[in-house]
Each structure stands twice: as structure tokens, then as C-alpha cells.
Amino acid sequence: AQSVAQPEDQVNVAEGNPLTVKCTYSVSGNPYLFWYVQYPNRGLQFLLKYITGDNLVKGSYGFEAEFNKSQTSFHLKKPSALVSDSALYFCAVRDRGSTLGRLYFGRGTQLTVWP
């Protein structure tokens, strides 16, 4: 069964410090992995995705994520957090071997960056 785990409901960091939002996944085959961000009262916006190739993926707003196949993880990172990064972050996974259109989301991690 496919699933995504975001082990932290909340992450709090000071502005200027590095941030990490964790994600682990379980799929029967090889994954496509995504990160989305949701600002208050808004829909989800795409941040980045891993399809193939380089395990370090760079995305929007200075975010990056590292695909680690052995640890089945896809943690989201940013070297220097901004207050404006405060939002709800979702990790999602699809099984690339599946012809079905199912996309599985984690429960979300609320990131708060304080000044």
C-alpha cells in the first residue's frame, strides 16, 4: 500500500536558520515525489518534485529536497528561513509503475518561522 508520513505536525525555526521538513514514503514500486505548500486561505502550490536523476532537487522560493532511496525519504530543506515561508507543507507520492492516477498526501507539517 502506498503511504506518506510527515512525522512532525509542527516545525518552528528562527528566521535566517536552516529548516527541514521531513517526509518518508512507502510505495510498491519506484516513486514520483512532490512537495506542495499551502498558505492561509489558499489552494496548494507546487514547490518541487523528484522524477529521476539527481537526488537533490531544487524548487521554488529557494527550497530543495533530497531523495534518499535507502531511507525512503524526501526531506524538504532551505538554508535560510524567511518569515514568509510560514505555511502548511505537504509531501505527496505516486507509484511510477502504476497506471492509476492515485496521488497520496501526507498529513501536512505546519512551518512557523519567527522573526
Partner 1 sequence: EAQVTQNPRYLITVTGKKLTVTCSQNMNHEYMSWYRQDPGLGLRQIYYSMNVEVTDKGDVPEGYKVSRKEKRNFPLILESPSPNQTSLYFCASSPGQTQETQYFGPGTRLLVL
Interface with partner 1 (CB under 8 A)? 6, 9, 32, 34, 36, 42-46, 49, 51, 90, 92, 94-96, 98-108
Minimum distance, C-beta of residue 100 to partner 1, in the bound complex (Å) = 7
| Other beta carbons less than 10 A from residue 48's beta carbon | 19
Q: Is the dihedral of CA 64, 39, 87, 74 positive or negative?
A: negative
Cβ at position 51, least distance to partner 1 in Å: 5
Q: How far is the CB of 63 from partner 1 (least distance, A)?
A: 14
Sole residue written with cell 531511507 = 71
Output 15 or 75, the one with its CB closest to partner 1: 75
Q: Name which of 73, 87, 76 is nearest 26 in CA terms.
A: 73
